[in-house]
């Protein structure tokens, strides 16, 4: 076939496919070609420059920035959320909305969803989550002790119970404080049968949703009573801790900071978290920047949902 005739055929097939929205089988039947030939000609249309495909990114979508974070920190995925200003409360709301959409679109049958207590961002997630179609075998388990100040304990219960209701799953509670007064008290509570039923699920969590905290506790965490004393926080700072996940503290390179305080915590360990198929860190704002960076360097999470102010700083790090 002369070159011009071949190009004419390629152009015709390309128009039928891309402009007229015809299926390859329809094109093959109309032009009396095999479907394999139609597929080959469509591929050639790109090689010859007849078809040029471009993706127009909508305003407020940060695809390139997300791809940069994925490559830079070895992530499975990154979701960068547009926010009007670097305001922590506003960012919490925006991240919660995006995290809710992510969860709604990714729940599978027999999913075991681990959720951290005492996170305002995850509370915002639950508040915007829509009722999901019923899928068999779904469980929602607390992976950080949810007992604390009775005035705010309803937050931790609501995180687990409301999410379980919305995903049509079974709620599994961790009915202990996140921080105990002594290691001995922690060891006693760890033997409780209801606590054990939750702990046994930790190794089976398929999606974990966690906040990333700075050294200074958030207002919700502080009100819960699940915090260390000012002297203990000073000790963590002296050991170069920059933040925590599930009350497990790490330094700027993500290395665990061991001071003995971790022996009083009841939560999923970061080693367990790092083995979860989808370990989702939902956090943003300048106050938490060092903690988020440390979490990424430690590879404690493999999916990050954050605001575009934080994401830009991370990309330039």
Main-chain phi, psi angles of 89, to 5 degrees? -65, -40
Residue positions counted in the chain: 317
pLDDT tens-digit map of 135-184: 899 999 999 998 988 878 887 888 899 999 999 999 999 999 999 999 99
The CATH superfamily of 3-47 is Homeodomain-like (1.10.10.60)
Q: Give bridge partners of residue 114 from the DSSP assignment.
A: 141, 208
Report the b/e string of 192-208 with b at 16+ CB within 10 A: eeebeebbebbeebbbb
Overall average pLDDT of the 15-29 stretch: 93
For residue 205, name the pLDDT band (cuts at 50, 70, 90).
very high
pTM: 0.85
> Does pLDDT of 2 surpass 80?
no
Q: What is the pLDDT of residue 283?
A: 97
Fold of the CATH domain 63-316:
Rossmann fold (3.40.50)
DSSP state of 75: -
pLDDT tens-digit map of 35-82: 999 999 999 998 998 888 777 667 778 899 999 999 999 999 999 999
- Token reading at 140: 């929602």
For the chain, the structural domain boundaries read: 3-47, 63-316
**CA–CA distance, 87 with 284 (Å, rounded to integer):** 9
Q: What is the pLDDT of residue 57?
A: 66
pLDDT tens-digit map of 212-267: 999 998 888 888 888 899 999 999 999 999 999 999 999 999 999 999 999 999 99
Within 8 A by CB and 6+ apart from 250, the residues are 241, 242, 243, 244, 256, 257, 270, 294, 295, 298, 300
């Amino acid at each position: 076939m002369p070159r011009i005739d071949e190009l004419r055929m390629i152009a015709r097939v390309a128009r039928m496919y891309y402009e007229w929205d015809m299926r390859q089988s329809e094109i093959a039947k109309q032009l009396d070609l095999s479907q394999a030939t139609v597929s080959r000609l469509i591929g050639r249309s790109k090689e010859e420059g007849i078809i040029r495909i471009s993706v127009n990114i909508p305003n407020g979508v940060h695809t390139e920035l997300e791809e940069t974070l994925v490559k830079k920190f070895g992530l499975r995925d990154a979701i960068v959320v547009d926010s009007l200003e670097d305001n922590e409360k506003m960012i919490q709301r925006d991240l919660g909305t995006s995290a809710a959409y992510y969860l709604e679109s990714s729940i599978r049958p027999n999913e075991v969803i681990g959720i951290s207590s005492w996170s305002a961002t995850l509370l915002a997630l639950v508040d915007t989550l829509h009722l999901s179609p019923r899928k068999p075998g779904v469980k929602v388990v607390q992976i950080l002790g949810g007992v604390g100040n009775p005035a705010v304990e309803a937050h931790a219960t609501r995180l687990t119970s409301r999410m379980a209701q919305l995903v049509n799953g079974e709620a599994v509670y961790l009915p202990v404080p996140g921080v105990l007064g002594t290691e001995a008290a922690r060891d006693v509570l760890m033997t409780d049968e209801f606590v054990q039923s939750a702990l046994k699920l930790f190794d089976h969590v398929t999606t974990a949703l966690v906040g990333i905290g700075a050294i200074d506790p958030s207002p919700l965490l502080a009100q819960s009573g699940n915090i260390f004393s000012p002297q203990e926080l000073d000790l963590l700072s002296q050991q170069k801790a920059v933040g925590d996940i599930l009350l497990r503290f790490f330094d700027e390179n993500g290395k665990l900071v061991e001071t003995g305080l971790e022996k009083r915590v009841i939560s999923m360990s970061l080693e367990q978290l790092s083995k979860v198929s989808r370990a989702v860190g939902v956090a943003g704002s300048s106050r938490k920047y060092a903690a988020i960076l440390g979490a990424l360097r430690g590879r404690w999470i493999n999916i990050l949902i954050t605001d575009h102010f934080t994401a830009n700083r991370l990309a330039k790090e």
